[in-house]
Amino acid sequence: MERYDVAIIGAGIVGTATAWKLARYKIKTVLLEALPDLACGTTKANGGIIHAGYDPKTGTLKAKLNVQGASEYPVLAEQLGFRYKQTGSLVVGFNEQDEQYLKMEYQNGKANGVPDLKIIYGEEIRALEPRINPQATVALHAPTAGVLDPFEAAYAFAENAHQNGVDVYFQFKVTGITRKSDGFVLHSSSGNVEAGMVVNAAGVYSDVVAALAGSQDFTVTPRIGEILVLDKEISNPVRNVIFPIPSPTKGKGIVVIPTVSGNVLVSATARNIEDKENISTSREGLQELLQGGRKLVADISAGQVIREFSGLRAVSSAGEDFNIGPTPGIRGFITAGGIQSPGLASAPAIASLIRDCLAEEGLVLREKPDYNPLRKAGVRFSALSAEEQDRLIKENPDYGQIVCRCEYVTAGEIIDAIKTPLGATTIDGVKRRSRAGMGRCQGGFCQPRILAILSRYLQKPPEQIWLEYADSPVVMGMLKGGCRQ
């Protein structure tokens, strides 16, 4: 049985960021993921906002870690090669009561240390955001807010961790935890690993994992959030992340978000549910999103929608704040529970806090002299100039073959997505790494071609290639009369 100093359970944004943070030290770390790929849970299904940090109540962990995390992302995006766009954000009000609320938020943000906040009015709002609902009268502008593709950040964290020596196991669903004098044994159907310390970053399952270790301190209720993806906007795109005034029952409310790729998200509904794997969408939810989106950007229409999905927020019974720290009575077992919004924005800072907790529990951290803080971003063909494209194709003709015609993704990029360390093994894994299939035809042209490339490079027959989760084949085998070459 392999023994590690630290085992991280869950390869979402918190787990991958923690792995990245720990990869610089002379310790042996493993990242364990129940699903077939990185970032397949809450991380893949959220709005991707790096909140500026004015919203969490001053003095909370959320406030501290959000502001700290948000300030780290611009640098991390450069070092780790993921796309990040500082869009700024607007919280939009329509009347005097809203204005009072925004002034409170402004003060709260100041106290949290959020830079450059400003209350703006009328024409100032329209100058920043021409698409804003004309009835908007007042807004809180936070220029430091930004957006990223959350799975892209998770891939970057995990790949950098991996290249610096962190092991990653997929389809390793922890089904039992045995406590020993010098640590833990983590059991799964595909084998066991031993670890001196454990980080529980299991998202909506963090209560289940804690219970396996013997802690019944909290439970996690999934709060489902549905999201619409709108087609890319060629003229007059939305520029800022646009929030409504939050409501006490619906959290941050339905937000309009420009993405790093030029799409717009309308995100998200909020409803507590029981099933930790229910990521279905509902008719009512989708209508609510359209209505909510139109309150902020009046011309949003159903005709622009290219996809709907939903994800689960991990709502902890331990309280509104993040629940991060050592577990009473279980030495060396660090919990990262209740990581809902602003979890993505906070992730780099959460990773630092978890490292500090591990150190306090007795983990010895000495920096590796050969740690490489850089990860090279993959080729993004469509973003290159014609000259650069021409040069690249001459080096490797795979880049001269467009597979996804909506997003102009080449065969070369799809092969890169598969061959990269911790690369894609599923159709959706290719999609999230390369954007092939993310466009307006949603894989209608390229899915069979991507399946063929996956089949070739993974050396598996097409019926053994999954869409996303285990046992989700897109085809069921050969038709009659077929034979394999």
User: Cα(308)–Cα(5) distance, rounded to whole angstroms?
Assistant: 41
| Min dist. Cβ of residue 337 to other proteins (A) | 24
| 51 labelled catalytic | yes
Alpha-carbon distances of 300 from 123, 147, 295, 359, 459, rounded to whole Å: 21, 20, 9, 49, 44
Provide the minimum distance between the beta carbon of 431 and other proteins in the complex, in angstroms, as a whole number: 12
Phi, psi of 67 (to 5 degrees): -65, -40
Tally of residues, the chain: 485
- In the complex, least distance from residue 398 CB atom to other proteins, rounded to whole angstroms: 8
Shortest Cβ 279–other proteins spacing (Å): 7
- Give whichever of 13 and 286 is closer to other proteins, judged by the CB atom: 286
Distance (Å, rounded) from C-alpha 346 to C-alpha 336? 12
| Closest distance to other proteins from the beta carbon of 238 (Å) | 18
Tell me how far, at minimum, the Cβ of 387 lies from other proteins, in Å: 7
Minimum distance, C-beta of residue 459 to other proteins, in the bound complex (Å) = 17
Instruction: Give the DSSP letter string of 219-246.
Output: -EEEEEEEEEEEPP-SSS---SEEE---
Which residue of the set 51, 141, 162, 187 is catalytic?
51
Half-sphere exposure of 264 (CA within 13 A, CB side): 30
Please confirm whether the linkage preceding 74 is cis (ω < 30° from 0): no
Residues found near other proteins in the complex (CB under 8 A): 229, 234, 277, 279-283, 285-286, 302, 305-309, 382, 386-387, 389-390, 393-394, 397-398, 400-402, 405-406, 408, 440-445, 447-448, 452, 462-463, 466-482
Please list, in sequence order, all residues whose beta carbon lies within 8 angstroms of the beta carbon of residue 45, skipping any fewer than 6 positions away. Answer: 225, 227, 279, 309, 310, 311, 312
* Burial (Cβ within 10 Å: 0-12, 13-18, ≥19) of residue 299: exposed
Provide φ and ψ at 285, rounded to 5°. Answer: -60, -45
Give yes or no for a contact between 214 and 202, defined as CB atoms under 8 angstroms apart: no
Choice between 114 and 268, CB closer to other proteins: 268
Q: Distance between CA 251 and CA 267 in Å, rounded?
A: 11
CA–CA gap between residue 307 and residue 281 (Å, rounded) = 11
| Residue 75 vs 452, nearer CB to other proteins | 452
Q: Residue 182 or 471: which CB sits closer to other proteins? A: 471
Q: Can you say whether residue 258 is alpha, beta or left, with left for phi > 0 and alpha for psi between -120 and 50 degrees?
A: beta
* Nearest-approach distance from CB 410 to other proteins, in angstroms: 8
Respond yes or no on whether the N-terminal peptide bond of residue 268 is cis (omega within 30° of 0): yes
Instruction: Tell me whether residue 436 is exposed, middle or buried, using C-beta atoms within 10 angstroms of its C-beta: 0 to 12, 13 to 18, 19 or more.
Output: buried
Between CA 480 and CA 477 the distance in angstroms is 10
Catalytic residues: 51
